[in-house]
Structure 1
Amino acid sequence: MLGYIQNYSILSFTKLIQKHSCKCSPVLTFTLPLYRYMGTLGSQVMCDNIPGLVNKQRQLCRQYPKVMQAIGAGMKDWISECQYQFRNHRWNCNTTARDHNLFGRLLIRSSREVAFVYAISSAGVVYTLAQACSQGELDSCSCDPTKKGSSQDAKGSFNWGGCSDHVEHAIRFSQAFVDAKERKERDARALMNLHNNRAGRKAVKRFMTLECKCHGVSGSCSVRTCWLAMADFRRTGDHLRKRYNGAVQVAVNQYGTGFTAAHTHFKRPSKNDLVYLEDSPDYCIRDHESGSMGTGGRVCNRTSRGVDGCEVMCCGRGYDTSRVSRTTKCECKFQWCCAVHCRDCHQQVDVHTCKGQT
Structure 2
Amino acid sequence: MNLLPSGICFYLSVAMCWLTSEVDASWWYMGTLGSQVMCDNIPGLVTKQRQLCRQHPRVMQVIGAGMEDWVEECRHQFRAHRWNCATVARDHRLFGRVLLRSSREAAFVHAVSSAGVVYALARACSSGRLDSCSCDPSKKGPSADGHGAFSWGGCSDHLEHAVRFSQAFVDAKERAERDARALINLHNNRAGRKAVKRYMTLECKCHGVSGSCSLRTCWQALADFRLTGDHLRRRYNGAVQVAVDQYGGGFTAAHAHFKRPGKNDLVYFEDSPDYCVRNHESGSLGTGGRACNRTSRGSGGCEVMCCGRGYDTSRVSRTAKCECKFHWCCAVRCQDCPLQVDLHTCKGQT
- Range of TM-score over shorter length: over 0.9
Aligned CA-pair RMSD: 1.7
Change (3 A) 1:357 1:310: same
Query: CA offsets per residue over residues 182-233 of structure 1, 9 Å max, x none?
Result: 0011100000100000000000001111111000001101100000111110
**1:142 and 2:130 matched:** no
2:28 aligns with 38
2:250 aligns with 258
Alignment of 1:117-156 (within 5 A): 117-156=109-148
Query: CA offsets per residue over residues 2-49 of structure 1, 9 Å max, x none?
Result: 97673x432x22xxx4xxxxxxxxxxxx66578455347932222111
Q: Secondary structure at the match of 1:100?
A: coil
Change (3 A) 1:34 1:144: farther
Q: Is the 8 A contact 1:3 1:108 kept in 2?
A: no
Deviation at 1:340, TM superposition (A): 2.8
- The counterpart of 2:234, out of the listed 223, 242, 248, is 242
Mapped partners of 1:234, 1:349: distance in 2: 29
Query: CA offsets per residue over residues 139-174 of structure 1, 9 Å max, x none?
Result: 000000000000111111100000011000000000
- TM-score, normalised by the number of residues in structure 1: 0.91
- The counterpart of 1:173, out of the listed 165, 183, 186, is 165
Q: Secondary structure at the match of 1:168?
A: helix
Of residues 30-39 and 76-85 in structure 1, the stretch that sits farther from structure 2 once superposed is: 30-39
Alignment of 1:155-304 (within 5 A): 155-304=147-296
2:4 aligns with none
Q: Is the 8 A contact 1:195 1:274 kept in 2?
A: yes
Change (3 A) 1:159 1:198: same
Deviation at 1:91, TM superposition (A): 0.5
Query: CA offsets per residue over residues 232-266 of structure 1, 9 Å max, x none?
Result: 10000000000000000001112211111111111
Q: Is the 8 A contact 1:34 1:73 kept in 2?
A: no
Q: Secondary structure at the match of 1:62?
A: helix
Change (3 A) 1:87 1:284: same
- TM-score, normalised by the number of residues in structure 2: 0.93
Alignment of 1:302-321 (within 5 A): 302-321=294-313
Show structure 1 runs of 4+ deviating over 4 A: 2-5, 30-34
Mapped partners of 1:45, 1:130: distance in 2: 27
Amino acid at match of 2:295: T
Uncovered stretches (5+) of structure 2, i.e. residues with no partner: 1-8
Mapped partners of 1:285, 1:236: distance in 2: 30
Uncovered stretches (5+) of structure 1, i.e. residues with no partner: 18-29
Deviation at 1:84, TM superposition (A): 0.4
Amino acid at match of 1:293: L
Amino acid at match of 2:238: G
Deviation at 1:334, TM superposition (A): 2.0
Change (3 A) 1:34 1:265: farther
Mapped partners of 1:300, 1:80: distance in 2: 20
2:105 aligns with 113
Count of aligned pairs? 340
Mapped partners of 1:33, 1:201: distance in 2: 29
Q: Is the 8 A contact 1:130 1:167 kept in 2?
A: yes
Q: Is the 8 A contact 2:11 2:94 kept in 1?
A: no
Change (3 A) 1:311 1:208: same
Q: Secondary structure at the match of 1:38?
A: helix
Mapped partners of 1:356, 1:126: distance in 2: 40
Mapped partners of 2:26, 2:240: distance in 1: 41
Change (3 A) 1:314 1:86: same
Mapped partners of 2:29, 2:22: distance in 1: 13
Q: Secondary structure at the match of 2:324?
A: strand
**1:322 and 2:314 matched:** yes
- The percent identity for this pair of structures is 77
Q: Is the 8 A contact 1:295 1:356 kept in 2?
A: yes
Mapped partners of 2:320, 2:262: distance in 1: 47
Deviation at 1:344, TM superposition (A): 1.4
Amino acid at match of 2:262: S
1:24 aligns with none
Deviation at 1:307, TM superposition (A): 0.8
1:23 aligns with none
Change (3 A) 1:262 1:353: same
Q: Secondary structure at the match of 1:347?
A: strand
Q: Is the 8 A contact 1:4 1:108 kept in 2?
A: no
Deviation at 1:55, TM superposition (A): 1.1
1:9 aligns with 15
Mapped partners of 1:278, 1:309: distance in 2: 26
Q: Secondary structure at the match of 1:257?
A: coil
Q: Secondary structure at the match of 2:297?
A: coil
Deviation at 1:106, TM superposition (A): 1.6
Mapped partners of 2:348, 2:37: distance in 1: 45
Q: Is the 8 A contact 1:119 1:198 kept in 2?
A: yes
Amino acid at match of 1:319: Y
